[in-house]
Amino acid sequence: MEQKCIIHFLPAKAGDCFLLENERKACILIDCGYRSTYQNELKPLLERLAKDGCRISLMIITHIDEDHLEGAIALLEDNRYSDNPQIIPIDNIWFNGVLAVCSQSEKILSHVKEKLESSEAAKYNEVFGQVLRQLKGESGPISARESESFEVLCKKYKYNINQGFDCGLVERGIEQLFQGFRVKVLSPDRSLLEHFESYIHSELVCCFGRNYSLIQKNKFYGFLEKLLIVLGKDVKGASLGQFICSSIPNIDDWIGTSTMAAMNTVNRVSIVVEIEYAGYKMLFMGDSESQDWISNASKHYNLVKLSHHGTTKPNFELLSNVKCDKVLISTNGSRNNHPEEELLANVIVAGIPEIYFNYDIDKKDDITLLQERYNFKAIFGSREIVLK
């Protein structure tokens, strides 16, 4: 049987959702976008794959962010128990969530108590309400059901999450085989995870005071997950404007237009994986900073999912040090000027032969005009990429 890998590049608005499928009927699912991504795109694909006898050998949620995580929560709510899946079998899940991080933190665990005082409970409910009001879903306010933690759902429905890892966390150095897929974790390392732990502690101090109290209940972990999503929301900067020209654009004008903003703590703790199959090497970056792990990366990849929907800064070290045959940019362009013009210029100048977009972005016409001059091919609205 011919070996091949199909990369399903799903439209996820401003988010990420990828599924890798091989001829053995094994799949790796990386992020699930929003709830609408799951309902409109991912669920129909999973139902078709399941009908063909496929299963999810590994599901990776790279980090805590609504545009990666919401669809995963919706999937588990529909799929229910792992031993009797309603959509598709899921064998393993990787996710560095608040429950896993907090359960390893002596600093945070020292604040755990059996029951909150009435004043503490009132403060907690007040802050939780504020968080949910800021975190409106696509169809209105977040419900109590939707605020349930992804990790709590994994345990409720008995999924294997971070099985066999030291301290129960996914970190650099892990390498495993899944039905022919070799998956190697490049990031986060221990120092990034410890920084994430300190960040959670500092935000709890900010919300509840230095002597804050915690209870180890499912609702609280749901609150923490949503709090981190609110805190990690991108701050929309000033508009960079649009380059308007009837002739071929000059990409020199795109250089220097990025604010070069660094990724926040939640994004930097993204799980970054190198996946090999049938001689092909792929890289999925989540929303990470490539400078955090570039020394552990390979020098050449057949396919790379660029970080953070086409933001310049987190991809700079990658594009400066690694040869890529194909890059994927996941965004509909609705948030934060994604993809940034400077990132597009850097990709083109790097001599990458093929650039894939899952939407017809605003810069489509300009990019199309540049193809012949810079000898690359741009593919817009791509849904499947086949490596064989």
* 5-380 to CATH, choices 1.20.140.10, 3.30.360.10, 2.60.40.10, 3.60.15.10: 3.60.15.10
Q: Which pLDDT belongs to residue 246?
A: 37
| Separation between Cα atoms, residue 241 and residue 239, nearest integer Å | 5
Tell me: the pLDDT tens digits for 345-365? Answer: 999 999 999 999 999 999 999
pLDDT at 136: 57
Tell me the HSE value of 33 on the side-chain side, using a 13 A CA sphere: 26
Lowest-confidence pick of 161-170, 260-269, 328-337: 328-337
What integer is the mean pLDDT of 212-237? Answer: 75
For the chain, which residues make up each domain, given as ranges? Answer: 5-380
Tens-place pLDDT, residues 81-124: 999 999 999 999 999 999 899 888 898 889 988 888 898 888 88
pLDDT the model gives residue 242: 31
Please provide the average confidence, as pLDDT, over all residues in the chain: 90
CA 158 to mean position of chain CA atoms: 23
**Structure confidence at residue 205 as a pLDDT band (50, 70, 90):** very high
Average pLDDT over residues 11-31: 97
Report, as an integer, the average pLDDT of 261-287: 96
**pLDDT at res. 241:** 29
- Residue 166: its pLDDT value, please? 77
Residue 230 pLDDT grade (very low, low, confident, very high; cuts 50, 70, 90)? confident
For 242, counting Cβ atoms within 10 Å of its Cβ (0-12 exposed, 13-18 middle, 19+ buried), the class is exposed
283-298, pLDDT tens digit by residue?
999 999 999 999 999 9
Most confident of 130-139, 174-183, 246-255: 174-183
One-character DSSP codes across 269-297: T--EEEEEETTEEEEE-TT--GGGTGGGS
> CA-to-CA distance for 388 and 386, rounded, in angstroms?
6
What is the model's pLDDT at position 233?
66
Q: Would you say residue 245 has pLDDT above 80?
A: no
Q: Where are the beta strands (DSSP E) in the chain?
A: 5-9, 17-22, 26-32, 55-60, 93-94, 175-178, 181-187, 272-277, 280-284, 300-301, 303-305, 323-324, 326-329, 354-357, 377-379, 384-387
Q: Is the pLDDT of residue 60 over 70?
A: yes
Question: What per-residue confidence (pLDDT) applies to 137?
Answer: 57
